[in-house]
Structure 1
């Protein structure tokens, strides 16, 4: 299984995982490592469009 990073003009970058359970698991595992991301899944986003969202800044370069 893979993921897609969606291009945009915002500092908020969606990482498409497409699976609700996977998005929850990945968000929790990243949080354990000190990386704060949010998992989004149905009904917040359409079914099969689950994702995590990361917020990037100049500190990430």
Structure 2
């Protein structure tokens, strides 16, 4: 998997994260990710891709 493809995969669920960085803005630019959700990301995947909206909603509950 290329780095470009890896950036489109949610590090929590492995699905498309719908990231639009570099293409006029991303949905995740307007939300706050709580630290406890970011802490769920495996160390080897941190800082490489956005968490998807579904995981954000799932883990906020």
Q: TM-score, normalised by structure 1?
A: 0.25
Q: TM-score, normalised by structure 2?
A: 0.25
Higher strand share: 1
1 or 2 for the larger relative contact order (CA 8 Å, sep ≥6)? 2
